[in-house]
Structure 1
Amino acid sequence: MAQIDTIIASPSPVECRRLQNILEKEPDFRILAQARDLSQTYTATEALSPAIVLISQSFAALPEFEVMHMLFRVLDTRWLVIENGDACTPHLKITRNSDLFTIDLRSGGAGLVPLIRSVTRAQRRKMVPARPVRQSMPGQKKLVMIGASTGGVDALATLLSGFPTDCPPTMIVQHTRHSFGGSLIGLLDRQCAAHVMPAKDRMRLDPGTICIAAGGRAHMQLAISHAPQVRLVPSAPVSGHLPSVDAMFHSALRVAPRTVAVLLTGMGRDGARGMLELRQAGASTLAQDEASSVVYGMPKAAWENGGAQKRIPLVDMAAEILKAASMSGEEAKP
């Protein structure tokens, strides 16, 4: 009988104990670990690669669960949400494209074991080596800047998978908590042909380099000396965020004709003002369309204020960015 390796993730010792009592009666279940917060859940899942994670509803409702969900997909780990009686938050509903199932422990967990056996029955995918060989796109002339917030983790994974190994130098601001920035970057680096790395002060922006500021304590800005490089500038939040998309976009105004600015799914308006400034200075500007956005906030604001030249479906965004990056400033004008 195949073992079903399981991780229990809940802030409640009572909930963990109830789940453990149910599963320990079954000979084909093995509990690998119990996690009391989302960071512990991520670490245990990445290290132990369980067949399934039973995760508290309160964890699944956190914005940072986007990163957790991406790890589940990479490892082909199943997951079940354990309802605890709290009302579902709006963010939990955002997981509409996931393999979401729920179990209500208030009914004694009836049906939990058969459901776990059912969702783990299929053979798990083997891990595919990262960095597939991809055809490069000659003639790249520009720097790419991307801003994203809610829903951005999946959007970035989709977009960056379409970038070649020698993609244009790319700067990305993704709103997330500090503790999950490194995890997100590591996951994206596994999945992309180009090299994805955390933003570091004074790092060079060379072709094939994608640097991400996610949950940091400084704004990521562009500096131009002999070659473009990243500057990390500790400061107050801009447009309500640190790091801020607006702050990143504003730093590229001097080289706007050599910049492609992109806004992906996200709540709020961060990036909309900076995108408008860049467009007025000669940059190519793109916004994700409403149909493919999880939250049509940031891209909507950029479209409505005139900052975005085009609205692009997510599946077409990588190709559109690479096309814009290969054009001169005059060619890129609509």
Structure 2
Amino acid sequence: MNKIKVLVVDDSITIRNILTSILAQEAEIEVVGEAEDPFDAREKIKQLNPDVLTLDVEMPKMDGLTFLSNLMRLRPMPVVMLSTLTTKGADTTLTALELGAVDYITKPDAGALLAQQDDFKHTLVSKLKDAAGINLKSLKLSKSLSEKPDGQILPFSGIGRRNHLIAIGASTGGTEAIKSILMRLPSTSPAVVITQHIPVTFSARFASRLNACCQMAVQEARHGQKIHPGNVYIAPGDKHLKIEQKNGASFCLLEDSPEVNRHKPSVDVLFDSLQSVAGNIQAVLLTGMGQDGARGMLNLKQQGARTLIQNQASSLVWGMPGKAYALNAHTEQYPLTEMAAALLDFASLKRGQVKEVSNVIE
């Protein structure tokens, strides 16, 4: 098996040395070179033809975002950003994902990185392997869908059933996949609840950025918040999001309990909280690494929910939806370009019509 060729791009020689040392321990990865700035990186990409780049956001001579934008225009390739856990770092990283970066990893300072080397190595290696295996056509599709052309909002005849809810789970590649769906939904759409694997310092900024470009009102979920149509509720990056039914209404509950499937928030936690109202739920699994959400989706399907997965061809990483597919947890699968329309079409059905459609699906 050919090794994954990695080029490490960072202005700090200390960080470059640490990353190179960590990756040298991995049999399936070879660091083919290091670059201290974007101009150095540009030449080494030509010489070494790497499979994946690790790219620091803040560098001299040319900032990481400008370099990334040029790279994706001239020579698209998988890039994993190294970013800081700050508000500024969140905005920069989310912009990098919009520009075409596959994923990101939070970069502690050199001392902390050495102390947390095992955890950091596991995360870094997993992300680089997933990045190396992505379909570049899917990467280009994700980037193009996040750009809002005129007339993209879909027509919608109105919600057919009271308290109808759309629940979405995603991980790697999910920020742009979610954005591409929400940007097509009108303000009269059913409420949407979302668990995206994302750090706590990123989730509020992610919600704010979506709110600025979508017709629906997008916010980070608050504990005890009542759910209303036309609104999107995103799990904070350090809490599980559950949905509670009370007196004929739905409410967001935030829970600071242990990780599930190595994640907090976890998609399985969200999906499992919806089992009692599964018949009025559309559950969606989008692109993402791992298996979080697959088992919860199967449980929802068995309770009568409509369960949709993003198809492999349009997924950056077909881990989570692929696991759901392997479990036969889905009722349908769609390319990302068709997901929003599929959700709205079903949301407009009356209860009797849903039963007819469910019979056809089964």
Paired AA for residue 138 in structure 1: G
Q: Secondary structure at the match of 2:204?
A: helix
Question: SS at 1:320's partner residue?
Answer: helix
Equivalent residue number for residue 95 of structure 2 = 68
- Does structure 2 conserve the Cα–Cα contact (< 8 Å) formed by 1:147 and 1:263? yes
SS in 2 for 1:186: helix
Does the CA-based 8 Å contact 2:153-2:183 persist in structure 1? Answer: no
Amino acid at match of 1:325: A
The DSSP-based 3-state class of the residue aligned with 2:242 is: strand
Partner of 1:83: none
Residue segments in structure 2 that go unaligned for 5+ positions in a row: 1-8, 16-35, 41-54, 69-77, 85-89, 101-123, 142-146
**For 2:159, which of 128, 139, 142 is the aligned residue?**
139
Q: Which residue of 2 aligns with 1:29?
A: none
Structure 2 Cα separation of the partners of residues 277 and 315 of structure 1: 26
Offset at residue 136 of structure 1 (A): 3.8
Alignment match, 2:355: 330
CA contact 2:98–2:176 (8 Å) conserved in 1: no
Q: Distance in 1 between matches of 2:295 and 2:56?
A: 36
Does residue 128 of structure 2 align to residue 89 of structure 1?
yes
Following TM superposition, by how much is the alpha carbon of 1:133 offset from its aligned partner in structure 2, in angstroms? 7.1
1: distance between equivalents of 2:312 and 2:320?
10
Q: What residue identity is the alignment partner of 1:139?
A: I
Q: Identify the match of residue 244 of structure 2 among 220, 223, 226.
A: 223
| Cα distance change of structure 1 residues 98 and 317 upon mapping to structure 2, 3 Å threshold | closer
Separation in 2 of the partners of 1:62 and 1:283? 38
Correspondence list, 1:155-304, <5 A: 155-215=177-237, 217-226=238-247, 227-304=249-326
Percent identity over the alignment is: 31
> In the TM superposition, what whole-angstrom CA distance separates every residue of 1:155-203 from its partner, at most 9, and x where no partner exists?
1111111111111011000012222212222222222111111011111
Query: Which one-letter code corresponds to 2:198 in the other structure?
Result: T
CA RMSD, Structure 1 to Structure 2 (Å) = 3.9
Q: Is 1:53 matched up with 2:66?
A: yes
Asked if the contact 1:130/1:193 (under 8 Å) is kept, the reply is: no
Point out where structure 1 has 5 or more consecutive residues left out of the alignment: 1-8, 23-35, 42-49, 74-85, 100-126
Q: Work out the number of aligned pairs and report it.
A: 263
Question: When you count helix as a share of all residues, which structure comes out higher?
Answer: 2
Distance 2:39 2:357 in 1: 62
Task: Kindly indicate whether the alpha-carbon contact (under 8 Å) linking 2:56 and 2:83 is maintained by their aligned counterparts in 1.
Answer: no
TM-score (norm 2): 0.62
Deviation at 1:137, TM superposition (A): 3.1
Shift of residue 331, structure 1, vs aligned partner: 3.4
Q: Residue 117 of structure 2 corresponds to which residue in structure 1?
A: none
Query: Are positions 1:12 and 2:12 aligned together?
Result: yes
